[in-house]
Amino acid sequence: MKLPRQFFKPLAIGAPAPYRELPVQLERMIHFVPPHLEKMRAKVPDIAKQVDVVLGNLEDAIPSDAKEAARRGFIEMAKATDFGATGLWTRINCLNSPWVLDDIVEIVGEIGAKLDVIMLPKVEGAWDVHYLDQLLAQLEAKHAIGKPILIHAILETAEGVKNVEEIASASPRMHGMSLGPADLAASRAMKTTRVGGGHPDYKVLADADGDKPRAGYQQDLWHYTVGKMVDACAANGIKPFYGPFGDFSDLAACESQFRNAFLQGCVGAWSLHPTQIDIAKRVFSPDPGEVAFALKILEAMPDGAGAVMIDGKMQDDATWKQAKVIVDLARIVAAKDPEMGKTYGL
Ligand code: GLV
Ligand code: MG
């Protein structure tokens, strides 16, 4: 393991120093765009105003014969669009593919200064992050890029889940992680063809009561992995996300999956369809009632010390910190989204 002092040194002469703290950035939804399609690229300036992150997808769902068109299309849309405070990310092809080297070299060379985060699929261990980390430092130095490009891993193989803690702490360039339920299901030989969400056969049966029909309650297939990912991320000061929800016709199930992830500690999810943007906005913005209560706590305990009672509930140092998490997030939401800001009274 690297010594702490070495950990924060740039990996190439002339590369920017790694961040010690992640930039404060609202990332409730990572909106996927297939950049080989001109019709989709044309919508990007509009979409960029509605979402927190625009991601040009180069990996799965892009046909093999369109990989180069997707890469060129992403570079074109990145150059042509003013993203303002909206994040610009790309999901590159996986490290054992024939496309990934050109993805990284061309994209960083042409629009590296505008790119916030590279999403790296099928990460199996820290070694995958180290490879990209070193290559990015070399390219940042070569192209005089002033701020580090961050790495976001997709947790979507059994080996990746086994190594999740090493992945989370592999580099100061780590931004966070997303659960990839489709590839992960395949990697683990789970018996589902769904992309995220529950399964009618994954349930707990109520106790038998004579001949009466027994109720069955569906369980969350992803609970264990999300919990493991959240702990690995929180322990390393990086951000956990739920990934894709594939059934675009079931908005309620999508909302429920996103909400479970939010309550477990995730900060955002992927939106693969425009209807999922509003769901993510609703779920991953703090609740106005919670914000109002959190503001009361901060007002009653300006320096966070001691203990007070508010509406019959005990408040102390720990709840002051919880309140601060919520109010800090509400302020970031309000800055990006004045409508939500009004509901918070900020
Ligand atoms: C996402 O990439 C997934 O495999 O679910
Ligand atoms: Mg995948």
Q: Whose CA is nearest to atom 2 of ligand 1?
A: 180
At 25 the three-state DSSP class reads coil
Proximal ligand: closest to the CA of 246: 1
1, pLDDT greater than 80: no
pLDDT bucket at 209, cuts 50 / 70 / 90? very high
Q: Is 132 helix (H, G, I), strand (E, B) or coil?
A: helix
**Nearest of 280, 223, 222 to residue 251 by alpha carbon:** 280
CA angle 120, 163, 131 (to 5 degrees): 40
CA angle 276, 280, 285 (to 5 degrees): 160
From 62, 97, 184, mutation site for ligand 1 pocket: most ligand atoms within 8 A of C-beta? 184
Q: Verify whether ligand 1 is closer than 6 Å to residue 176 (CB atom).
A: no
Going by CATH, does the domain composed of 4-284 fall within 3.20.20.60? yes
Q: Which atom of ligand 1 is nearest to the CA of 181?
A: 5
Sign of the four-CA dihedral 255, 256, 261, 262? positive
Band of pLDDT at residue 325, cut at 50, 70 and 90: confident
Q: In degrees to the nearest 10, what's the CA dihedral of 290, 293, 299, 302?
A: -60
pLDDT at 36: 98
- Edge-to-edge strand ranges of the sheet holding 239-242: 239-242, 174-179, 150-155, 117-120, 87-91, 53-57, 29-33, 269-271
Q: How far is CA 281 from CA 119, 201, 243, 285, 323, in A?
A: 21, 30, 15, 6, 20
Return phi, psi of residue 261, to 5°.
-65, -40
Residue nearest to atom 3 of ligand 1 (CA): 180
pLDDT tens digits, residue range 152-177? 999 999 999 999 999 999 999 999 99
Distance (Å, rounded) from C-alpha 253 to C-alpha 198?
8
For a substitution probing ligand 1, which of 32, 154, 187 has the most ligand atoms within 8 Å of its CB? 154
Q: How far apart are CA 327 and CA 321, in angstroms?
A: 10
- Work out whether the CA dihedral 181, 187, 190, 193 comes out positive or negative: positive
**Residue type at position 63:** P
Q: How far is the CA of 178 from the centre of ligand 2 (A)?
A: 10
CA distance 94 to 115: 18
Sole residue written with tokens 């309000």: 334
The Cα–Cα gap between 83 and 209 comes to 60
Q: Quick one: which atom of ligand 1 is closest to the CA of 195? A: 5
Ligand closest to the CA atom of residue 178: 1
Q: Mean per-residue pLDDT for 120-143?
A: 98
Atom of ligand 1 minimally distant from the CA of 121: 2
Give pLDDT, residue 155.
Answer: 98
The rounded mean pLDDT for the chain is: 96
Going from N- to C-terminal start, the domains of the chain cover 4-284, 290-344
Relative to the CA of 183, which ligand 1 atom is closest?
A: 4
Among 60, 155, 270, 272, name the best residue to mutate to test ligand 1's pocket (greatest count of ligand atoms within 8 A of Cβ): 60
Q: Residue 278 above 90 pLDDT?
A: yes
